Structure 1
């Protein structure tokens, strides 16, 4: 995380970070550890949510303890729990729903994306507490356990990994994965990696339906065990399920700043940033993580890189040194298929079961993510 910088503490600098996810929490940690400036991180939850581990929390009771990383332990007095309702950039103030006003010299938007539960719990519990979140996932384990046929809609990383987790923990369950595209995971994956995902899931017993669009999602009771539900596709197929889980529908969480930064937003709600993460047309405003329009895979380690670059460039500015522009790195993705293996791609190389289990499947980066913010993950 870096030692204390030789640059003096910046008395006239107050960095306010809206969003305590991977990028926001790590940026807070870096700035505090380097004793660089005053920092405040704002989030309506009391934790940084380690979403990568959330899918295993769906099938193993108690695993959710590793999902929720306490922001108070990460940030101490620098953490303010609340929801940013409005930005008054003319007066450099963040206004919370409670009416509390927090002034800044530098503003960082790190609010990420929202997607359906169970991939991200904030879609159903935006102000979730650690205790509540653990119970929500533990209760969901029960819903899966009593469902003999589970349908996962969406074949991106969330759908793939969830299907693998369910079949690993409940091998007698029928699991169907419905994917509108003709591949699983990511379009950027090499052909042999895409094929390995399909092979791995089929070996677990997952049934995969490619090129199918579900047409009656709004009529289904999602995430609740209910016998006799019929998932209907546009091609006319009907799949009877006890449990239907949506794994599609990411949206960028920038609604709160549309009024003031609307000219800097793309049509999809991402903030346009330059190579130094400054929001275009907005002096003193930065964005990191999933909310940016940088063309790269939106993954947790990428948000961490953003935080590192932003910190080092502020230190460079303070020491009259040259800033380093951010350039997206090589595409990498590890896809666990349950806790015993998976496949992936790193710098163009294909990884198999043994390596993916060692790197990710075993603990889903929990030790790394908690360690990056100076904490140890709880035992489950």
Structure 2
């Protein structure tokens, strides 16, 4: 109800009379911040989203879309939903990268300077596939996912290094959709998902073992740059068709 009332009472003003509330980063935290601000900012203010990607990346689904073919387009959501139903003039989106923040301005890679009254920094984290894509445009981002799909499909023996949420999801999805593949999940800690509780850790370990996924815990293998061979602390060396590294 408050959002409906706000929509009816907010009045658009000329740009030079409006103060900016700048949000840097349009992933889940930034998206929700912008959505809430479009429903609450008083007349005289607007929210400006600075986001390098053309679409919101649904990163929680990237591990699965890195395995399963034909659905990668569903991982990229247009930002048009933020302006739908919002008051005229309250929302503005800039596809760019913030390079510097001063006390008054956000400087962008394009050279533009955005003056702000309030600033929200929601830049998130950095990672690589299958956690995140490097591309900022939807076409090339989907191509990255398809490239990972092809690598997984072609590999018979796969090692996944990192037993956090992404590693666990990737290992289970690979084995679920390609049960004939040999999948090994390697983790440096004594338990998978080490930031979670023991009940979940034990449950996940049992499920993965039942799926015939090999678990190698308390291991930090080394890999030479010119091979797919992992060198374990015991001196054992094992070659894989594909090694996916540094997953959390």
TM-aligned CA deviation for residue 180 of structure 1: 0.6
What is the match of residue 235 of structure 1?
A: 234
Q: Is the 8 A contact 1:56 1:63 kept in 2?
A: no
1:108 to 111, 116, 120: 120
2:73 to 54, 65, 71: 65
Higher Rg: 2
Provide the alpha-carbon RMSD of the alignment.
Answer: 2.3
Between 199-208 and 230-239, report the one with greater CA deviation: 230-239
What is the match of residue 169 of structure 1?
A: 177
Structure 2 residue 29 is the aligned partner of structure 1 residue 26: no
Q: Is the 8 A contact 1:2 1:30 kept in 2?
A: no
> What does residue range 35-114 of structure 1 map to in structure 2 within 5 Å?
36=42, 37-75=45-83, 78-89=92-103, 92-114=104-126
1:193 to 175, 197, 200: 200
1:184 aligns to what SS in structure 2? Answer: coil
For 1:142 and 1:55, how far apart are their aligned partners in 2? 14
Change (3 A) 1:5 1:153: farther
Q: Which runs of 5+ in 1 are unaligned?
A: 221-227, 250-380
1:231 aligns to what SS in structure 2? Answer: strand
TM-aligned CA deviation for residue 75 of structure 1: 4.4
What is the match of residue 202 of structure 1?
A: 209
The normalised TM-score by structure 1 is 0.57
Q: Which runs of 5+ in 2 are unaligned?
A: 12-16, 85-90
Q: Is the 8 A contact 2:49 2:93 kept in 1?
A: yes
The normalised TM-score by structure 2 is 0.86
Change (3 A) 1:2 1:110: farther
Q: Is the 8 A contact 2:131 2:247 kept in 1?
A: no
